[in-house]
Structure 1
Amino acid sequence: MLHRIYGSHREDGDINNIDVTVYLNGYHGDTSKTFLCGEVDEAGKQLVKVTEECLLRGISTCKHGTSFKKIGRRISEHAERNGFCVVECFVGHGVGRVFHSEPLIYHQRNNRPGQMIEGQTFTIEPIISMGSIDCDMWDDGWTAVTTDGSLTVQFEHTILITRTGAEILTKC
């Protein structure tokens, strides 16, 4: 399962992502974290570890004047080096007074134009898969699954671009 609203039922071995959006004093924020439930197999644990590393590697490329495409390249390189791939049907996005705005942040290799500017805020939220990078949307308009049903994991932070790097605004 790639993206859906869950009920309260959890199974031993599940991998669950909690995605939280906050609206405070006219500004939006967005973050998500993945949790292991009970005994998860080693392949699942490795996917979770690598996905969080992908997020942090993507963030580490960020600073004023850097091309957005460096994020996707860094994430793709790390995922592929570990035998995984980047799901392409979801992107990071700008946040602030408007939610889900520009810039769009692609997590896979790409040639999209644009550079980061000091003061920008946006999310980086790679979804890494054990199999297919393609998605199917269910009729409920919310649930997304990989076309082969493979396991996926996601982590997300909202960041602020600074002259020398990026500040994680959603760090716990």
Structure 2
Amino acid sequence: MVEIKTPEQIARMRAAGLVVAEIHRACAAAAVPGATTKDLDEIAAQVLADHGAKPNFLGYGGFPATICTSVNEVVVHGIPDRVTVLKSGDIISIDAGAIVDGWHGDAALTVLVGEGHPPEVAELSRVTEESLWAGIAAMRRGNRLVDISRAIEGHIRRQPLPPSGRYGIIESYGGHGIGSEMHMDPHLLNYVDRRRGRGPKLVPGMCLAIEPMVSLGTAKTHVLADEWTVKTNDGTWSAHWEHSVALTEEGPLVLTAPDGGRERLARLGVTAAPDPLA
């Protein structure tokens, strides 16, 4: 069953999304050479406390931290610690969430740490982020879930190939419904799998966490012994971008973007829905 939200519930999710946006702003600024991933986790916990919000990652299935910090070849679910010290040339995915009045927000961004990144690494992050916005732009009334998957994959496949010869769209993980819980139906692939059909029709009140994950090589991953950290099988680096998005009567509202997605969607010819908290 896909949970359909009322406008009032979407407004509460927008409040949670704005807390997530503030976590990203603070953590991205602190993701500098010499910082540990635990430093970022503590910053996120403080932002949540300052806003009276609750973490939705901490304790979820036993996860031991407030955010996920995934460095270089780690795709998702990296556990913050004191041992992992960021250095120039690294990239890090910061995946964060918040609960406000029982409603969830969830988003991720990839940060280039310091300087000295090979051009293909910066390009990987750009391509992944742009594929996210292509997917968001496809979240329109009358489309189906697969249209979002097709938009994400299509954007990635149209890009010039990196020196490695391919972009790997991670197969084992994807987006999801979000609302009164962090992970809900439907599961959203970042590529088209014709065996799965077209998926549900997109209607106002649906909320999705859209999150492409792309590597410079394989689409295959494995989980480490900690039962959380996910790495690419071939050790190639990956990027991860995510937003929580509501489909309203007026169009898509990017719940975890400070401006509701207005500026980025306008570039794609899409008008973002009005912000219910503005």
- Structure 1 spans left out of the alignment, 5+ residues: none
**2-side partners of 1:151 and 1:29: how far apart?**
26
Are 1:137 and 2:223 an aligned pair? yes
Counterpart for residue 5 of structure 1: 79
**2-side partners of 1:93 and 1:163: how far apart?**
21
Counterpart for residue 115 of structure 1: 201
- Look up the SS of the partner of 1:103 in the other structure: strand
Deviations 1:57-102 (A, max 9, x none): 0000111221111111111112122232311111111111122001
> Identity of counterpart residues, as a percentage?
31
**C-alpha contact 1:60 1:165 (8 A) present in aligned 2:** no
Counterpart for residue 169 of structure 2: 86
- Aligned to 1:102, which of 156, 174, 185? 185
Letter in 1 for 2:147: K
The alignment yields a C-alpha RMSD, in angstroms, of 1.3
TM-score w.r.t. length of structure 2: 0.60
**2-side partners of 1:75 and 1:67: how far apart?**
14
- Look up the SS of the partner of 2:107 in the other structure: strand
Are 1:23 and 2:106 an aligned pair? no
Q: Which has the higher helix share?
A: 2
Q: How many residues align?
A: 172
**1-side partners of 2:103 and 2:151: how far apart?**
29
Post-superposition offset of 1:162: 2.2
- Look up the SS of the partner of 1:97 in the other structure: coil
- Structure 2 spans left out of the alignment, 5+ residues: 1-73, 162-166, 259-278
Asked which structure has the greater RCO (Cα within 8 Å, sep 6+), the reply is 1
- Look up the SS of the partner of 2:75 in the other structure: coil
- Aligned to 1:36, which of 103, 108, 112? 112
Are 1:61 and 2:138 an aligned pair? yes
**1-side partners of 2:249 and 2:169: how far apart?**
28
**1-side partners of 2:214 and 2:134: how far apart?**
13
Larger Rg: 2
**2-side partners of 1:95 and 1:28: how far apart?**
7
TM-score w.r.t. length of structure 1: 0.94
Letter in 2 for 1:5: I
Letter in 2 for 1:157: H
- Look up the SS of the partner of 1:2 in the other structure: strand
Counterpart for residue 213 of structure 2: 127
Post-superposition offset of 1:6: 3.3
| Runs of 4 or more above 2 Å deviation | 110-113, 162-165
